Each structure stands twice: as structure tokens, then as C-alpha cells.
Amino acid sequence: MASSNRYPDILHFINGIWVNSTERRSVINPFDESVIGEIPCADTTNLDSAVSAAKSGFLVWKATPPAKRYQIMMTAIKLIRERIEEFATVMTLDQGKPIAQSRLEVLRGCDIIEWDAGEGLRTYGRIIPSEPNMRHSVLRQPIGIVAAFSPWNFPMSSPARKIGGSLAAGCSLILKPPEETPAAAVLMAKAFADAGLPPGVLNLVFGDAAKISSYLIAEPAVRLITFTGSTAVGKKLAAQAGQYMKPVVMELGGHAPVIVCSDADPESAGSLSVLGKLRNAGQVCVAPTRFLVHNAIFEAFTNAFALKANDLKVGDGLNPENQMGPLANRRRMEAMESLAEDAVNKGARLICGGKRIGKTGYLFPMTALADVPSNARIMTEEPFGPIAIINRFHNLEEAIHTANSLPYGLAAYAFTKSAAVANRLALELEVGNLSINHFTASLAETPFGGVKDSGYGREGGIEGLMHYMITKNVSHLMQE
């Protein structure tokens, strides 16, 4: 059982009941590598029960009046907001992010569910004009049981997307939270149960990701697959879902370019870029990664970046003074070391950082590499950590061409005072999200998602909610 009294027992949540398994895996604190808890690993019996529960939960929830669904979701949100310190502490313990960032993520997760709850009241159909005795009605109905897979980088806000969308649309769901950062999902399920969510509407199963996804994708009652994670896994799951003709929402990787034009203020853009990059220690699919800086302001930008980066306090996320915590797992830390070393060996200039901090835990400093050659692995591999590439461009065509040159297309950023340049970038960058003069990529009310290898489908906004619904056209020829 959990070794820290601050860390909850992690159990499956099936049909409103907390369920254990004999096979269990450890959960590690990435700051000191101590074992803080365990997850149960679902077997086929657990998965069968989760599907039965979701079937009965769906029948109850789709028949629940939208206003009642709204009220239960809002009660859960109120409870989560009241329990923010409990949520934030466990998220910092298992994921590593600074406690202030954990708190912000909890609030962001609440905003997402709250927005979905409200929008669930407005999933209107329509009447299409026709001859007097004919009525063409368009109905929106919940799609059915959702299988949802959320990643370890956002233990609260990613499940919030999937829970908010499912519940607002009238669906039930089976969520597989991340095996490495499972606690926030458990606390969320508890809050929904305390708020009066009927049993079987929200189910959690933990364990072997591939085993659970293969089972749920093949299960006929499951009607939608939503996955946030790597492009490699997303492609596998989309291919599996294709065999069963099931729709998928895929929020995958990115390698976001940041175009810093010659009219931008290099000092403020450089220092703001560090703040954009440090969120979640760079383990964000929309993390700014390829800084493409106009040659005229290149040195000033790079110096400002290094100045701010060297000033950061990196350490235990539970210490409120630290601005960046450890990476979430050993894989990421080793990937950072290897990507930085490879780039330097191929001729990149190391501006700051580059080597892990200490010998225990997964601390890695903010790192910047300048003038990185195109054959360095980091130029095409998503770092998913605190490494920034700072390269120069001489004209906008070149910057746009470089920005669009990778198979990824999730987020891009630009710094410019020119409305004409901003408009051109908006038209020509091949991404799902473009932010100009700031680093916020998504809100509860805005559609978020990628193009190309970054996936398809959207989370957030009215576009996001529509994935959880089917559109049915009813044509009625009225008789005397």
C-alpha cells in the first residue's frame, strides 16, 4: 500500500466500487526515486466488469436530464476546488512539477469540466426547412461508451478533457489513467462519486497500457477512442480502431516552432520564452522547441534566454521556491542527456544547461542549443523536456519553410508587431494552434489539436464536445 500518507491508495474504480488486483506496480517520486505508491494491474475480469459497468452507466446517464448532469458535474468541480491542496500535492509527488503549477493544473482541469458541463446544456439539434408536411430534424445524441487514455504529463487536465467531454455529452467512460502519475485521476473519481455521479458512468482501470487498449478498442460496446500521448502509440491505436471502424481523437506529439521576427523585442521574447519552456519542465506536447530567430536579433535573444535560464531554481516541486521540478521519469532524463550530447557532437553551441543535476532523481536544467545543424537528432525528434533549439533565419519564407518542414503540426508561436506578418503566418503555418506574442496554446473554450503526425480531432471548444456525440437526421413525412 501507499508508503506516503499524502499519497492515496490507487485502485480501479468500477461501477462505483474501488477494486484491487493482485498484480501491482510501483509509483516512483521523480524527485528522489522513492516508491510512493502502487497501481493495480487490471486483468480480463476487471476489464469485463468495467465494460458491463459502463454499459449500465451509459443507460442511466444518457437518460439523466442535462440540467441534472450539469448539476452533478458542477458539484464535483466545487469539491475538487475545495480539495485543491490534496490534488496539487499528489500531482507534485508523482509527476514532479512545482506545486504552483500543480495548483494551476487543477484549476485548469476544473475550468475545462465546468465549460463542458455548461456547453452540454446547449448541444442543440436543428430543423432544416422543408415542404410543409416534411420535417428534417437533426438530433445530437451521445456516442456511447468512451475508452480514454490520458498521459503522465498532465495527470489532471488531460483526464479532465476526456471526463468533461464524455459526461457533458451523456456518455459513460472507461479511463486508463497513466501508470506513472495515477493519483489525480483517483481523486477526481472520488470527487465525482461524492457529487452523486451514478455508478458505472466514470470507471478507472490501471495497468498494462497495451493490454487495456487492445481489449477496449476491440470491445463492441466501446464507441469512441480518445488518446493523448506519443505519435508512435497514437498511430498504433488509430490503426487498431480502424479495424473496428471506430472514431478516434488523437492528441499526439509536437515540435513547436517559435518564429521571432526582427521587429520583436529580443530581450522580452527571450526571457518570456524561458517561462514558456519551463512549464512542466518542457514535457508538454505544445512546448516551444525550435526557436527560429531573425539574424538581426539572434545574439540579443540568445543572451536574454541564457540569462533567464541560468537564473531558474530547479529542484523539489514541493519547495515553493523552485520554478522547475524533475522530469517525470528516467526515460525523459536519459533522452535529454542523449539529445544534448548528440547535438553538441554534431556542432551545436551549448548556451546553458546540458547535464543532469545530481545523481538521484531526474533533475535536468533548462538547456539551450544554438546554431544546431540539421543532422542533429533533436532537429526532428520531439525532445519533450527542457531543451530549446535556437537557430537563425534571414527572411520569412525561410522561417515558414523550416517551421513546416517536420511531420508534426500541433502548435506554433510567433513574436512580431506586424499584423501583416501575423496574418501570413496564420495562413501558412501547418499547425492546429498558433499563438502570437504569447505562449498560451489552449483554453477550455478553444479547440485544441493537431494536423499531420500530431493527430486529429479536437479537445475543448464546441468542436471537442462534438466528438462525443453522433449526428442523426430524422426525416418525417407527416400523415393525416
- Summarize as ranges the residues that interact with ligand NAD (CB under 6 A): 149, 151-153, 178-179, 209-210, 213, 228-230, 232-233, 236-237, 251-253, 285, 331, 382, 384
Buried b / exposed e along 88-105 (16+ C-beta atoms within 10 A): bbbbbbbbbbbbebbbbb
Handedness of CA 289, 164, 202, 466 (dihedral sign): negative
Smallest gap from Cβ 332 to ligand NAD, in A, equals 7
How far is the C-alpha of 389 from the C-alpha of 374, rounded, in Å? 11
Closest CB to ligand NAD among residues 10, 252: 252
Smallest gap from Cβ 16 to ligand NAD, in A, equals 24
Cα separations in angstroms, 71 against 60, 160, 178, 184, 444: 15, 17, 28, 22, 19
How far is the C-alpha of 463 from the C-alpha of 441, rounded, in Å? 16
Smallest gap from Cβ 250 to ligand NAD, in A, equals 9
Which DSSP state fits 289?
Answer: E
Closest CB to ligand NAD among residues 198, 383: 383
**Residue 438 φ/ψ, nearest 5 degrees:** -160, 175
Smallest gap from Cβ 385 to ligand NAD, in A, equals 8
Smallest gap from Cβ 379 to ligand NAD, in A, equals 15
Return the closest-CA partner of residue 162 out of 178, 173, 153, 151: 173
Closest CB to ligand NAD among residues 233, 314: 233
Closest CB to ligand NAD among residues 5, 243: 243
Closest CB to ligand NAD among residues 223, 392: 223
**Residue 32 φ/ψ, nearest 5 degrees:** -125, 5
Which among 105, 114, 251, 382 is annotated as catalytic?
251
How far is the C-alpha of 386 from the C-alpha of 288, rounded, in Å? 10
Which among 285, 352, 382, 459 is annotated as catalytic?
285
Query: Is 251 designated active site?
Result: yes
DSSP 247-286: -EEEE----EEEEE-TTS-HHHHHHHHHHHHHGGGG-STT
| Residue numbers annotated as active site | 251, 285
